[in-house]
Chains A and B, each alone.
Chain A
Amino acid sequence: AQSVTQLDSQVPVFEEAPVELRCNYSSSVSVYLFWYVQYPNQGLQLLLKYLSGSTLVKGINGFEAEFNKSQTSFHLRKPSVHISDTAEYFCAVPSKTDKLIFGTGTRLQVFP
């Protein structure tokens, strides 16, 4: 069965530092991968997606993620974070029955 593991429930980081949010998946079907972001008191919005092609995917707000098939990972990175990046980040993968399976989320807290 498809599943997603986000290894870190919280990631504290200082402003302008780099950050990596980890995501590992298991999938027995064609791999599509997604990162969603949830800012405080808001719904989720799509940050970036991997469907095919280049393994390095660029998203909104300077985020990028790299699909690594051998390590079954899709880690999210940003070279320099801002206070406004404070949010919860969800990795997701489709199931065999066409639904999205979300990870448990990583709360990124950016400190000044």
Chain B
Amino acid sequence: DVKVTQSSRYLVKRTGEKVFLECVQDMDHENMFWYRQDPGLGLRLIYFSYDVKMKEKGDIPEGYSVSREKKERFSLILESASTNQTSMYLCASSFTLPALHENPRYEQYFGPGTRLTVT
């Protein structure tokens, strides 16, 4: 079974703090993603990475950065936390296979989420 783990289930931080959210996957997946989930808005992509040391902005990258120094680990960084970053953060990973009919990048495996509260 694919395991995607996130460093914390619940986190409470103060405004202005630097926050690190860690995600680790154990299936040698090339692709990793960070989303935030808010009621009524579904999942919104923050950043993603298709390879080590590679990163791409998603739909809502402002106020966030990421780091991928090792294939299995993808970190999300809030440089200076603000109250509007209170949310559920979900990490996901997926693999790439030389399949003919499938694009496995779409089949993502998710971690349990980190509920971050910024006060």
| Interface positions of A (Cβ within 8 A of B) | 9, 32, 34, 36, 41-46, 49, 51-52, 90, 92, 94, 98-100, 102-105
The tally of CB-CB contacts under 8 A between chains A and B is 53
Q: Would you call A32 and B103 a contact (CB within 8 A)?
A: yes
| Interface positions of B (Cβ within 8 A of A) | 4, 33, 40-43, 45, 48, 58, 90, 92, 101-103, 105-113
- Sample of 13 further A-B pairs with CB below 8 A, known A43-B113, A102-B42: A9-B40, A32-B103, A34-B107, A43-B110, A43-B111, A43-B112, A44-B90, A44-B108, A44-B110, A46-B109, A100-B108, A104-B41, A105-B42
What is the minimal beta-carbon distance from A9 to any residue of chain B, in angstroms? 7
Q: Would you call B112 and A42 a contact (CB within 8 A)?
A: yes
Q: CB < 8 Å: which of A46, A90, A98, A102 contacts B103? A: A98
CA distance A100 to B41 in the complex (A): 15
| Residues of B contacting A49 in the complex (Cβ-Cβ under 8 angstroms) | 106-107
| 5 A–B contacts from the bound complex (CB under 8 Å) | A43-B4, A43-B110, A51-B101, A52-B101, A99-B58
Q: Would you call A41 and B112 a contact (CB within 8 A)?
A: yes
Q: Would you call A98 and B107 a contact (CB within 8 A)?
A: no
| Residues of A contacting B111 in the complex (Cβ-Cβ under 8 angstroms) | 43
Q: Would you call A104 and B112 a contact (CB within 8 A)?
A: no
Q: Would you call B103 and A104 a contact (CB within 8 A)?
A: no
| Residues of A contacting B41 in the complex (Cβ-Cβ under 8 angstroms) | 104
CA distance A105 to B35 in the complex (A): 14
Q: Which residue of chain A is the closest to B41 with respect to CB atoms?
A: A104
Q: CB < 8 Å: which of B4, B106, B109 contacts A32? A: B106
Q: CB < 8 Å: which of B43, B105, B113 contacts A102? A: B43
